Amino acid sequence: MPKPDFQPTLTGETTIVRPLQAQDWPGMFHAASDPLIWELHPVRDRYTKPVFREFFDGGLASGMAFAILHRGTNTIIGSSRYHGHDPQAGEIEIGWTFLVREHWGGTTNREVKRLMLDHAFAFAETVVFWVGTENWRSRRAMEKIGGRRRDGLCWRAYGGVDTPHVVFEITRSGFSP
């Protein structure tokens, strides 16, 4: 079986989700430099240049990261990525998502996740989303798009510190675009 395309360009009504590129740095950092975006995230200082640079470079190196653009203005409004594809388990993660505040609470997150889910279900049965335990905003967003919380906690290290997360999942059979 050929390797899935982890960086397609996905186009929705209001957004374009396209592969992250090195030249996206200025626009991406501008979008991410609002401290309120990160206030509930396990890495609360990600709005700073050195911390965001690590995030950005990690996204480029992953070969699975995206820039999210507003179709009307072609402006970068956020980022997301795939991670941890496990073909045997039929699972992949969508995560590392952020949006500028002007696009919170509306249809943007739903559209981006729908586009990414629709693409992921071509090669995976289940998509998981790791959310920091204190990030109630992202937890609520996961529920709004149909994510079901798995039992227990999982741990992910940020800067050498293990941080608890809850995991949500959406299955191909449970997905309704």
Q: Which domains does the chain have, with CATH numbers?
A: 10-128 (3.40.630.30)
Helix (H, G, I), strand (E, B) or coil at 93: strand
Alpha-carbon distance of 123 to 3, in angstroms, equals: 9
Chain Cα centroid distance, residue 23? 20
Joined together, the tokens standing for residue 170 give 């959406």
Alpha-carbon distance of 39 to 24, in angstroms, equals: 23
- pLDDT value at position 1? 55
Q: One digit per residue, pLDDT tens: the chain, 177 residues? A: 568 999 999 999 999 999 999 999 999 999 999 999 999 998 999 999 999 999 999 999 999 999 999 999 999 999 999 999 999 999 999 999 999 999 998 899 999 999 999 999 999 999 999 999 999 999 999 999 999 999 999 998 887 889 999 999 999 998 887
Chain Cα centroid distance, residue 60? 14
- pLDDT value at position 146? 93
- pLDDT value at position 158? 80
- pLDDT value at position 68? 98
The counts of H helices and E strands in the chain are 4, 9
Conformational region of residue 135, where left means phi above 0, alpha means psi within -120 to 50, and beta covers everything else: beta
Question: Which residues share a beta bridge with 127?
Answer: 92, 170
Does pTM surpass 0.85?
Answer: yes
